[in-house]
A = this chain, B = another copy of it.
Amino acid sequence: MADIIPVDDPADPRLSDFTDLTDVELRRRREPAEGLFVAEGEKVIRRAAQAGYPMRSMLLSEKWLPVMRDVLDQVRAPAYVMSPEAAEQVTGYHVHRGALASMGRTPLPEPGALLATARRVVIMEAVNDHTNIGAVFRSAAALGMDGVLLSPSCADPLYRRSVKVSMGAVFSVPYARLGTWPGGLKPVREAGFRLLAFTPDEDAVPLDDIGAHRLPRVALLLGAEGDGLSARAMRAADDRVRIPMAHGVDSLNVGAAAAVAFYAATRT
C-alpha cells in the first residue's frame, strides 16, 4: 500500500521526478538516464501499472485520492498529495488530469526476441514527433500489429506526450530499438519478413496490389512526417508501396497513413 504524504513545498526534493515537465529537452535527457517515465491521468497510470511497470511515486491532488485508491492500495510507492497550485509550480503546467505517476523503465526486448513471435510489425525511421509516435502506437495496438521497431533516431515512446497520445498503447504493444540503421533491417528480412517501404511516390506499387494481409510475415516501414523514408531505408526494403492519393493531395499524415497500412496488413 502506498504511503500518502501531504507536501506543501514545491521545492521538496522528493518531488524531483516531476520537476520541469514542460522542458522537453531536459526531460528527454533526464528520463532515460534516470530510468523513469511519467504517466499522466487515471487511465494511463492504471494501464502502466497493469502492464507491470514499477511505480516510483505519484503526485496528485486530494480530490484524486479516492479515484486512484485501488491503484494506491496495490503499490509500495509514496503518493505525494499537493494542491493543484503547488503541483503546477513543480511541473510547470496545470495538470488537468489531476494525477501523475513516475514509473520505472523496464529493459526493452531485443529485436530478435520480438521478431521471433511476431507476424506483423511496423518499423519507424526517424520519427521524432512525440505526438506522431503516440498516434502510431495507438493505431498499431488497436489494429492488431504484433510489435514496433524503432530506428536509432526515433523519439522515445515513453515520453509523457507519446504515452498520453497513445492512450497507454505504448505499454501494450511490444517494441524494440534497432541498434544500427539501416543495417538493423537485415535480421528482419532474415527472420522471413517482407519489408514494405511506404512512400507517396507515383511509381510505387498501390497498397491494394501488394496484398499485405496475405503475406506470412510483413514489416511496414514508415518515415517521418515531411521527410518520409530515407533513400537508404527505401533501398533496404523489398517493395515500395503507396497509398493512392486523390484530389491532388500530396500525402496523408503519418498517423493516418499508419492506420491505413495497419488495417490493410491485418484484415482477415
Contacts and interface: CB of A to CB of B under 8 A. Distances in A.
A9 to B, nearest CB: 34
A252 B140 CA distance: 10
A1 interface: no
Contact of A143 (B144, B246, B248, B253): B246
Contact of A243 (B141, B249, B258, B263): B263
A42 B245 CA distance: 22
Contacts of A172: 247-249
Contact of A253 (B135, B245, B252): B135
A145 B245 CA distance: 10
B247 A141 contact: yes
A142 interface: yes
Given A208-B267, A260-B259, A250 B135 contact: no
A139 B252 contact: yes
A169 interface: yes
Size bin of chain A's contact surface: 20 to 34
A207 to B, nearest CB: 8
A255 interface: yes
B208 A268 contact: yes
Contacts of A253: 135, 138-139, 255
A148 B259 CA distance: 20
A256 interface: yes
Interface of A: 135, 138-139, 141-144, 167, 169, 172-173, 208, 243-253, 255-260, 263-264, 266-268
B208 A251 contact: no
Contacts of A266: 246
A137 to B, nearest CB: 10
Contacts of A255: 135, 253, 255-256, 259
A79 B142 CA distance: 48
B246 A144 contact: yes
Contacts of A267: 208
A256 B138 contact: yes
A139 B256 CA distance: 7
B256 A141 contact: no
B263 A167 contact: no
Nearest to A245: B142
A263 B267 CA distance: 12
Given A135-B253, A169-B249, A259-B259, 17 more contacts: A138-B253, A139-B252, A139-B256, A142-B243, A142-B249, A143-B246, A143-B252, A143-B260, A172-B248, A208-B267, A243-B263, A252-B259, A253-B255, A255-B255, A256-B259, A260-B260, A263-B264
